[in-house]
Amino acid sequence: MDNLWITYIMNYKNMWEGVFEILGDSLPKHAIDAWFEPMKSIGVSDGEILLEVPNQFFCEWIDSHYKKELLSAIQSMDGDLVGYRFSISAVSKELEESSLVQQKTKATHIHQNNLNRQYTLENFIEGSNNEFAKNAGQSVAEEPGENNFNPLIIYGGVGLGKTHLMHAIGNAAIKKNPGLNVVVVTSEKFTLDFVNSLRKNKTIEFAQQYRSADILLIDDIQFFRGKEQTQEQFFHTFNVLHQAGKQIVMTADKYPGEMKGLQSRLLSRFQSGLSVDVQPPNLEVRVAILLEKAEQNGVSLDYDVIEFVARHIKNNIRDLEGTIIRILAKSSLLNKEIDHALVRDVVRERIGGQLKTDTTAEEIVKRVSEFLTISEKEIVGKSRKMEISEARQLSMFLCREIMGTSLSGIGLFFGGRDHTTVMHAIKTISEKIEKNNKIKKTVGTLRKEFDQPI
């Protein structure tokens, strides 16, 4: 009850201060400093608080790490709010600089269609995994409702670009024809709107809002599963739009024919259009996506880092981006350079454990032996000859780097040496890498060989 009062007397700025305070109690200080301090609340729209953030990486980092905390803080400040939405600084700055009236029109514009402007066809990287989907999307954007691709259903696994492509279709259609009414919504939001309209006796307004769309974009229709009354509503909305030749685009986690918990009359309607899938991308596409994202966000990363990440994170583009964010965050929070060790650590964390499960100390020694033409026996033996002991130190260094084996574990393998010897070896090689180009090259080459994908 108190909350209700607070809502009325408070504007969104105060509300954000409240949310910030609640977060401060539940999250560590470094998280607040790094992620919430730079955020600004710029308004409330459609039951969502609008938060301005410096770049796209912010949105994704917060979504993947602090979503629960943020939502619960927002809702405990104002029970009527359903969530939050991000706006990237450049856009917000433009809003701020313009006059109040303009601010309002622009804000309504954002409110009107909820499209994420960052998701365009131009920055949707095409590969054999998604070209059919992208081409279908392009045709739909050019001539909405006018070909047989109605509805267009984009389906496939998590993080493969369905939402991106769907918003891109909306953005492209509006660019071509700014007068179009594009309505974009997640199936959860559709359900929530419907339930609220029932509660407030406003089902007619609800129906009108959706039925006035020239293009209706609905994300993740699998969440209609089991919601009979919402499906019923959606069925009617669908029919009205379809009959009027309006375009409908949906995304789903599976081929419609395989979806469970959706009424068969809905599924059969869906099958009258076109279903296209998105698959996991291959290495080149993964690299291209990361390069694009880095550029988009003004982040400069060595090609090596990008390729390394793309080689190891394979099935989900969101994870791919998440890994880059984590690398950036770790480097900035710990004030460390983005070096090979840092990147390896982050990738290892992400894929849970070892990078190459079958690499063994024997293999590393064998490869070093071939490379430096020093026998394996000598490498693990006792000789103190310069080249041999250097080869041994190098092997120890690589064992640590590639397999992450404990110092004493490595010592044991190399003829029962103790952990201080191993530590000394690692330190020596690390220093030599800095000063000696030949060693640097050797380490670089061997590292690369062992960093092949799992």
How far apart are the C-alpha atoms of 102 and 311, rounded to whole Å? 46
In angstroms, give the least distance from the CB of 160 to Mg ion: 9
How far apart are the C-alpha atoms of 371 and 390, rounded to whole Å? 13
The interface region with Mg ion, picked from 74-82, 157-165, 309-317, 344-352 by CB under 5 A, is: 157-165
Residues 301 to 360 in contact with ligand ADP, rule: CB under 6 A: 317-318, 321
137 touching ligand ADP, by CB under 6 A: no
158 touching ligand ADP, by CB under 6 A: yes
How far apart are the C-alpha atoms of 49 and 77, rounded to whole Å? 11
Mode of pairing for the β-strands spanning 48-53 and 182-186: unpaired
In angstroms, give the least distance from the CB of 158 to ligand ADP: 5
Pick the binder of Mg ion from 56, 163, 395, 405 (CB under 5 A). Answer: 163
Burial (Cβ within 10 Å: 0-12, 13-18, ≥19) of residue 47: middle
Pick the binder of ligand ADP from 92, 130, 233, 393 (CB under 6 A). Answer: 130
Which residue's CB is nearer to Mg ion, number 158 or number 341? 158
CA torsion sign for 59, 64, 66, 70 is: positive
In angstroms, give the least distance from the CB of 83 to Mg ion: 15
Largest Cα separation within the chain, whole Å, is: 88
Q: Nearest to residue 229, comparing CAs of 254, 200, 197, 251?
A: 197
In angstroms, give the least distance from the CB of 123 to ligand ADP: 6
**Strands across the sheet containing 48-53:** 40-45, 48-53, 83-88
Tell me, letter by letter, the H, E, C secondary structure of 221-269.
HHHHCCCHHHHHHHHHHHHHHHHCCCEEEEEECCCHHHCCCCCHHHHHH
Which residue's CB is nearer to ligand ADP, number 40 or number 318? 318
The interface region with ligand ADP, picked from 4-12, 162-170, 238-246, 339-347 by CB under 6 A, is: 162-170
The interface region with Mg ion, picked from 136-144, 155-163, 328-336, 412-420 by CB under 5 A, is: 155-163
Asked if residues 360 and 349 have their Cβ atoms less than 8 Å apart, the reply is: no
Query: Which single residue brings its beta carbon nearest to ligand ADP?
Result: 161
Which residue's CB is nearer to ligand ADP, number 329 or number 407? 329
161 touching ligand ADP, by CB under 6 A: yes
How far apart are the C-alpha atoms of 431 and 433, rounded to whole Å? 5
Asked if residues 129 and 282 have their Cβ atoms less than 8 Å apart, the reply is: yes
Site string (266-305) toward ligand ADP, x via CB under 6 A: -----------------------x--x-------------
87 touching Mg ion, by CB under 5 A: no
* DSSP one-letter code for 47: T
Which residue's CB is nearer to ligand ADP, number 321 or number 451? 321
160 touching ligand ADP, by CB under 6 A: yes
Return residues touching ligand ADP (CB under 6 A): 119, 123-125, 130, 158-164, 289, 292, 317-318, 321
Contacts to Mg ion by CB under 5 A? 162-163
